[in-house]
Amino acid sequence: MRHDEQVRVIKELCAHLDGDTNVDAGGLRQNPTITYTDPTQANREWNEWFRGMPQLLGLSGDLPEAGSFLTNNDYGTPILATRGEDGGFRAFVNSCRHRGTILETDSHGTKRRFTCPFHAWSYDTAGTLVGMPKAAHFGQVEMECLGLRELPAEERHGLLFVHPQPDGEIDLDWLLGEWFNDEFPTWRFDELKLLTSDEYAIKCNWKLAMDTFGETYHFNALHSNTLALNFHGNVQTYDEDGHLHRMVLCKRAIDQVRQLPEEEWDVTVAGLPVYWLFPNIILMPFEVGVFLVRAIPTPGDPGHHVSKVDFYIRPEAVESNVLGIEVPDFEALATQIARSFGEIIRDEDYAMSASQQRSADTGALDQIVFGRNEPALHHYHNTYRSMLGQELLPLLDKITADR
Ligand code: FES
Ligand SMILES: [Fe+2]
């Protein structure tokens, strides 16, 4: 985020703190609970947004060197992504072209050759078939015809995108929009390395997991003994543009930041930026790295999803000790902080999401309410609805007895 924008955001947070105000969506909206339970909608989401759009597989640091690879099975297609000898990022269907066996079963690692466990056909990092035992016995095959099936892949601003369909298209100008395409380079995501990776299987719709990242109204109640110690609850900024939005949460450290000259203001000290990428990605950059949260639907079960919470660290943060805390092992401390943050999401936020799902499943409430101070929730759901061609949720001045 450019410095002038950081200053604008910090001033807005200070104004909310001083005036006892918060962002204002301009009204309330009611959201039908069927959006979290309907198998037909869940099917459309899966096919149109997860099978039919590019997905974020991770950050450039997940493939740190030539020969690095990772596999992914979250979006239906088994995916093998590689960093080639030329440094290029590529992705393939992770199935051997002989008889379709899953080629690479490790989640990540470094290899120059991928050898199929069935009959030992082998492929290089560019997906080319380079080895076939007893080729003369097998029969005549033009090796170049049987390379791994390539998937569209693009690396931009340190983010790795893959389309799960070989004939799919990646349009990052649309997905990231002008705004994020302009702002993301300032975060230097390409320099980060993966520090912790956690996965939580939760009995709730993936959109309820997203919803929990959509406001700080809940901080003082739900996180009274955890996040509220470091954040001012119910204070945030919110900006949107088309299908993009960014919130900045308000850290208690803002009280010190505002005493400094403006040139020294740092939005990651005063707050926590939260970027939403349609449909299921949350990116939260802060002083020493970034949290990446992905809420991955479970196909065929609208009431279940898996959240992946990854923390990537800025390598120089480890050396220069940017937090200014004298600790013998900064990386160990950062690991511990990252893990505790993930556990708060799992044990506090997602406990609420699962509880909301239990309620939605009964059908007892046909609608829930989004407040004026929860604009990201209005935006998630109206974006989802517009992408599905559903009627938008109207903005209401008040909730009245007839609703
Ligand atoms: S299925 Fe892979 S080598 Fe036969
Ligand atoms: Fe929360």
Nearest to 114 by CA among 139, 136, 82: 82
Nearest to 297 by CA among 206, 209, 213, 387: 206
Contact 207, 304 (CB under 8 A): no
**Best residue for ligand 1 mutational test, from 101, 115, 138, 148 (most atoms within 8 Å of Cβ):** 101
For residue 398, the CA-to-ligand 2 centroid distance in Å is 25
Q: Looking at the CA of 217, name the nearest ligand.
A: 2
Q: Please say whether the dihedral angle defined by the alpha carbons of residues 54, 177, 184 and 293, taken in this order, is positive or negative.
A: negative
DSSP 88-125: -EEEEESB-TTT--B---SSEEE-SEEE-TTT--EEET
| Residue 396, burial from CB neighbour count under 10 angstroms (0-12, 13-18, 19+) | middle
Contact 286, 272 (CB under 8 A): yes
Which pairs count as long-range contacts for 75-79, CB under 8 Å and 24+ apart, including other chains? Answer: 75/50, 75/51, 75/164, 75/296, 76/46, 76/50, 76/51, 76/164, 76/299, 77/51, 77/151, 77/164, 77/165, 78/102, 79/151, 79/162, 79/164
Q: Is the CB of 174 under 6 A from ligand 1?
A: no
The predicted pLDDT at position 403 comes to: 55
Q: pTM of the full predicted structure?
A: 0.96
| Residue 256, burial from CB neighbour count under 10 angstroms (0-12, 13-18, 19+) | exposed
> Which residue has a Cα nearest atom 3 of ligand 1?
119
Query: What is the tens place of the pLDDT at every residue in 165-206?
Result: 999 999 999 999 999 999 999 999 999 999 999 999 999 999
CATH number for region 55-170: 2.102.10.10
Contact 81, 70 (CB under 8 A): yes
Half-sphere exposure of 283 (CA within 13 A, CB side): 25
Residue 130 three-state SS? strand
The pLDDT tens digits along the chain (403 residues) read 999 999 999 999 999 999 999 999 999 999 999 999 999 999 999 999 999 999 999 999 999 999 999 999 999 999 999 999 999 999 999 999 999 999 999 999 999 999 999 999 999 999 999 999 999 999 999 999 999 999 999 999 999 999 999 999 999 999 999 999 999 999 999 999 999 999 999 999 999 999 999 999 999 999 999 999 999 999 999 999 999 999 999 999 999 999 999 999 999 999 999 999 999 999 999 888 999 999 999 999 999 999 999 999 998 877 665 556 666 678 888 888 899 999 999 999 999 999 999 999 999 999 999 999 999 999 999 999 999 999 999 999 999 876 5
Domain 3-51+177-387 in CATH: superfamily? Naphthalene 1,2-dioxygenase Alpha Subunit; Chain A, domain 1 (3.90.380.10)
**Best residue for ligand 1 mutational test, from 96, 102, 129, 143 (most atoms within 8 Å of Cβ):** 96
Q: Is the CB of 121 under 6 A from ligand 1?
A: yes
Average pLDDT score over the chain: 95
Contact 29, 394 (CB under 8 A): yes
The residues, ordered by sequence, that sit 6+ positions from 1 with a Cβ below 8 Å of its Cβ are 9, 183, 186, 187, 267, 273
Atom of ligand 1 lying closest to residue 101 CA: 1
Domain boundaries, the chain: 3-51+177-387, 55-170
Nearest to 271 by CA among 251, 252, 293: 251
Q: Looking at the CA of 95, name the nearest ligand.
A: 1
Q: Is the CB of 119 under 6 A from ligand 1?
A: yes
For residue 101, the CA-to-ligand 1 centroid distance in Å is 6
Distance, in Å, from the CA atom of 272 to the CA atom of 241, rounded to the nearest integer, reads 19
Under DSSP, the state recorded for 293 is E
Atom of ligand 1 lying closest to residue 119 CA: 3
For residue 81, the CA-to-ligand 1 centroid distance in Å is 19
For residue 212, the CA-to-ligand 2 centroid distance in Å is 6
Greatest alpha-carbon pair distance for the chain in Å reads 81
Q: Looking at the CA of 352, name the nearest ligand.
A: 2
Q: Is the CB of 101 under 6 A from ligand 1?
A: yes
Q: Is the CB of 99 under 6 A from ligand 1?
A: yes
Helix ranges restricted to H, 139-248:
172-175, 177-183, 206-211, 219-222
For residue 116, the CA-to-ligand 1 centroid distance in Å is 6
Q: Looking at the CA of 227, name the nearest ligand.
A: 2
